[in-house]
Chains A and B, each alone.
Chain A
Amino acid sequence: MRITVCLAVILAVFLCLTGAGLAAEPIILGCPLPSAFLYGWDAERAIILAVEEINANGGIKVGGAMRPFKVDLMDSRDLEPGVPVSEALLALEKLILDKKADFILGGPVRSEAALAAMPLLSKYKKVSIVTTGVLTPKYHALVEQHYDKFKYCFRIHGEATWLINEILTCLIEIRQKFGLDRVFIMVQDVAHARASGDILSKVAVEKGFKISGMEIYPTGATDFSMGLIKAQKTDSQVLSIWMDMPESAILLKQWHDMKLAALPFGSTLASAEQPGFWKATNGKGEFCMANVVNAGNAASKATPWTMRFYDAYTKRWGIEPEGLGCSSSYMAVYVLKDAIERADNLEPDKIVTALEQTDIMGVYGRLRFDPKNHQVIPGFDPQQGAVGSIIQWQAGKRMVVFPKSIAMGDIQLPPWMK
């Protein structure tokens, strides 16, 4: 008996040692994300899904060996109102210095924090791909201005100026179809929303739209009645909403109750990006349109990969992809894998060059980075560039209605507007 036990122990030790030799050292992906918020867990879940898929297929081939990815998530809490950005920066530093992350994926998510993180990333020479939140155009503008310093920063999802372009093109379509051309803008009092609201009002006027008003709401405001009444009094026909705060649900419910004759068109309207929105508003969110930034965040057939991703995510997490960072976080992992395999190296400068040469057909179209400012190149045709999606809530489902190349349905007006 004792001899059997001894032999078993020796065998176990032997296996462990050889096993340790066989198990390749993982490539660590540090992800500073606010996991208690939609623009945090959208990236988290997509990244985990991608890593599981890649690891199941053997991993990444680099330096002659197959190495797996390892996800190291750290709660940055940067979307919480009472938390200073230095918390997120500390989380980032912990990932880099303590957890020895090789690459940074996902965040920080709040524009302020992401901008503040850029000097840190350049100091430690860590390649980072931002995949959710951070819509400010200042991010890639800074990369272009100080290329040598900030060349390690990439962004793989759509940003504010392109979103405005998409929204404007969609508005022109709406004008052609329904004749609506008076826009009332309601934004949240945060950097990206205000900047976007300003830019949209300028550009829309150039294209012949009339801006009937603009209201800025502080985060935490619970009363939108006066703004909606103003919109009503000025005969507004479209409500352009830039709010990711939860109180936007109050706005939409009240819009429905007042039977305001204006089509709500949201961007970064976090509440409307979730499948649970319908139930949460008791159906009052019907006809609300929202820009979900990249295809794949709602069902469409942009590329063969789109529905594969959509179904895989739904199967893995039990809920459809939600949030603007879902498909982009998923693709970021694959894009990184592609770059590592092409560079056959983990060195930051080589990876930067490899990423700049990325050209793969991903979940939301052809993915390439602009080599000057490391922003993913957008487009209206999935064969040409990264394609966005604008959805409308119809009959309890999110229906992709724009761009035409991937639309699954038509834009509809609420019954009281016809």
Chain B
Amino acid sequence: MNVEILIYGTINSVSLALYALGFAMVYGVSRLPNFAHGALFVLAGFIAWTLLNSLGLNYMLSALLSIIATAAIGVMIYRFVLIRVRGMEISEIIASYALGLAILEGLRWSGLKGMTYTLPVFMEGSLQIGAVAVDYQRLLVVAAGSALVAFLYFFTHYTRIGLALRGMAQDERAAMMLGIDSDAMAMAAMALGSTLAALAAIFLLPLGNIVVEAGYNVLILAIAVCIVGGLGSWAGAVLAAFLIGFAQILTEVYLGAHYQMVVALLAIILTLVVRPSGLFGRQKELEERV
């Protein structure tokens, strides 16, 4: 049983990390809670499906185009809506949530209903690890997730834009003093966040099907992971994903699949009570405790 817990725990954790990285990215750089994250996830899947089925394009091409399209939509959301409410927390949350709601319900109204919308897996078949067979798509998820985390690390440490994003995340004023444009960086962060959401969609949606409810679930999971990891910290998000991922799997095995979702929600409340800044939160305790 332990091998299975390890394998499926890892798969679950990497999936959670994929969901959460986009949200963590945007919040970390520009302190913008992007509540439209779940909507972008479903939208990316839907665009890929449309390109694949209605236009008959090659799967790789559809995936690539859908990622580019989602990134563009994310940038447009920032440029036309969120930039005007920058700095006003309540308005940011409401505006991004309302947009997410409009996108998701709009998809539902235009026909995304039922359970027959799905994306094909990249590779059929499964690999036998010990006593358990794991399908290639799930292994691909783990590989892709790890590669993505590694890529993000190198991107934010060794490229100009990445360093600029990190600078903005650390201290906005200082970054602006050094000539880094706050709005341009926020748009880059939104683009990156949307790209991450689209990548998550491409890798994780083939496991099931594309439904509007997934948008709401992904949002809740992303928020749970980011809070536990500390709002604004990318390493924290990854670590928290593993914590919650394994907690869910262990709950499934020993307590009952029943309490899966409760674990995620309880984790948030526990974190806020015990250590509000999360695992690696950048907020100093003084700033947030009154």
Interface residues of A (CB under 8 A from B): 36-38, 41, 80-82, 189, 215-218, 220-227, 229-230, 232-233, 245-250, 253-254, 257-259, 270-271, 274, 276-277, 279-282
- Contacting pair A253 B213 (CB below 8 A): no
- Within the complex, the shortest CB–CB distance from A224 to chain B, in Å, comes to 8
Partner of B8, one of A217, A223, A277, A282: A223
Contact indicator B11/A246 (Cβ below 8 Å): no
- The B133-158 residues at the A interface (CB cut-off 8 A) are 133, 135
Q: List 10 A-B contacts (CB under 8 A).
A: A223-B252, A226-B253, A245-B213, A246-B115, A249-B209, A253-B207, A258-B135, A274-B115, A276-B114, A280-B209
Contacts A246-B115, A279-B116, A282-B120 given; 20 further ones with Cβ under 8 A?
A: A36-B113, A38-B114, A38-B115, A80-B213, A217-B257, A218-B257, A223-B248, A223-B252, A224-B257, A225-B12, A226-B8, A226-B257, A229-B1, A232-B132, A249-B115, A249-B208, A253-B207, A258-B135, A274-B114, A274-B115
Across the interface, which residues of B come within 8 angstroms of A223, CB to CB? 8, 12, 248-249, 252, 260
Q: How far is the CA of A224 from the CA of B8 in the complex (A)?
A: 10
- Chain B residues lying within 8 Å of A274, measured Cβ to Cβ, are 114-116
Contact of A81 among B8, B114, B216 (CB under 8 A): B216
Q: How far is the CB of B264 from chain A (nearest CB, A)?
A: 10
Q: Mark B79-103, 1 if CB is under 8 A from A, else 0.
A: 0000000000000000000000000
Complexed CA–CA distance, A271 and B132 (Å): 26
Interface size of B in residues (CB-CB distance below 8 Å): 42
In whole angstroms, what is the CA distance A277 to B8 when docked?
26
B261 within 8 A of A: yes
List B residues 1-22 near A (Cβ within 8 Å).
Answer: 1, 4-5, 8, 11-12, 15
The binding surface of chain B is classed by DSSP as helix
Q: Could you tell me if A221 and B120 are in contact, using CB atoms closer than 8 angstroms?
A: no
**A227 touching B257 by the CB < 8 A rule?**
yes
CA distance A36 to B112 in the complex (A): 8
Query: Which residues of chain B in 106-140 are interfacial with respect to chain A, using CB atoms and an 8 Å cutoff?
Result: 108-109, 113-118, 120-121, 124-126, 132-133, 135
Q: Is the CB of B126 within 8 A of A220?
A: no
Using known A-B contacts A270-B115, A281-B118, determine if residue A189 contacts B258 with beta carbons closer than 8 Å.
Answer: yes
B208 CB contact (under 8 Å) in A81, A222, A279: A222
Q: Check A220 against B118 for contact (C-beta < 8 Å).
A: no
Residues of A with C-beta under 8 A to B256: 215-216
Residues of chain B within 8 A of A280, CB atoms compared: 115-118, 209
Contact B208 A253 (CB under 8 A): yes
Determine how close the nearest CB of chain B comes to the CB of A261; give it in whole angstroms: 12
Contacts of A282 in B (CB 8 A): 120-121, 124
- Determine if A246 and B211 form an interchain contact, defined as CB atoms under 8 angstroms apart: yes
Bound Cα distance A258, B127 (Å):
9
Complex Cα gap A232–B222 (Å): 31
B260 touches A217 (CB 8 A): yes
In the complex, chain B residues 171-214 whose Cβ is within 8 Å of any chain A Cβ: 207-209, 211, 213-214
CA distance A249 to B210 in the complex (A): 10
CB of A107 to closest CB in B, whole Å: 16
Q: How far is the CA of A276 from the CA of B53 in the complex (A)?
A: 13
